[in-house]
């Protein structure tokens, strides 16, 4: 038990100072000391804002207050945590990997034509490119026969000229 705690402490010391500070202020339920629950054990920061990543409603005025951490700082924290493999210790944030992936699936790349069942019209020459290439390919497949015929008939007697 003591050895496990020690190794966890070592791991925690390996984290960047920024993450360590954050986790000390907002410890998740999974790393609380044994015998305490999130209800009984709350830091002063958590008393004020349970999730510093979400906007909070003021109890008296009812106005929404901005999150304690801006979206930019949230994203930075998430990136740091992901690099150190401790993203699940952070509270819910719209910058988390899970939400990001869900949005990516939902919205696609946001580039027109990349989503499921989407198509872009394109320029006329782009639309006709396939037909043009097919014609060319067919003409090249027929070319040896055409040349053979032309050589047989001779250019003096050839009568099939294009329009």
Partner 1 sequence: MAKKAKTRIINVRLLSMAMTGYFYTFTRPRTALPMSMIKYDPIIRRRVLFLEQKRKGNK
Count the alpha carbons within 13 Å of 99 in the hemisphere toward its beta carbon: 10
62 binds partner 1 (CB under 8 A): no
CA angle 136, 128, 141 (to 5 degrees): 15
Using CB under 8 A, which of the segments 11-19, 52-60, 74-82, 143-151 binds partner 1? 143-151
Binding mask 113-132 for partner 1 (x = CB under 8 A): -------------------x
**Residue 110 contacts partner 1 per CB under 8 A:** no
* Nearest by Cα to 77 from 68, 9, 35, 49: 68
Number of residues this chain uses to bind partner 1 (CB under 8 A):
17
The reply on whether position 155 binds partner 1 by CB under 8 A is yes
- With binding defined as CB under 8 A, does residue 139 bind partner 1? yes
Among the residue ranges 14-22, 57-65, 101-109, 138-146, the one whose residues contact partner 1 (CB under 8 A): 138-146
The SS3 call for residue 157 is coil
Structure tokens at 88: 């699940």
CB of 121 to partner 1, least distance (A): 24
Token duo for residue 23: 């986790």
Helices marked H in 52-163: 71-83, 97-107, 124-127, 129-153
Instruction: Give the binding site for partner 1 (CB under 8 A).
Output: 132, 135-136, 138-140, 143, 146-147, 150, 155-156, 158, 160-163
């Amino acid at each position: 038990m003591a050895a496990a705690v020690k190794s966890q402490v070592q791991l925690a010391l390996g984290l960047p100072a920024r993450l360590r500070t954050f986790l000390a202020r907002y410890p998740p339920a999974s790393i609380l000391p044994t015998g305490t629950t999130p209800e009984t054990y709350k830091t002063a920061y958590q008393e004020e804002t349970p999730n510093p990543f979400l906007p909070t409603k003021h109890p008296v005025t009812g106005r929404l207050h901005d999150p304690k951490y801006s979206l930019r700082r949230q994203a930075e924290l998430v990136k740091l945590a992901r690099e150190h493999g401790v993203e699940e210790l952070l509270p819910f944030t719209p910058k988390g990997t899970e939400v990001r992936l869900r949005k990516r699936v939902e919205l696609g790349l946001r580039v027109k034509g990349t989503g499921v069942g989407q198509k872009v019209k394109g320029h006329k020459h782009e639309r006709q490119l396939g037909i043009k290439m097919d014609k060319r390919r067919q003409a090249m497949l027929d070319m040896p026969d055409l040349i053979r015929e032309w050589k047989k008939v001779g250019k003096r007697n050839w009568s099939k000229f294009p329009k």
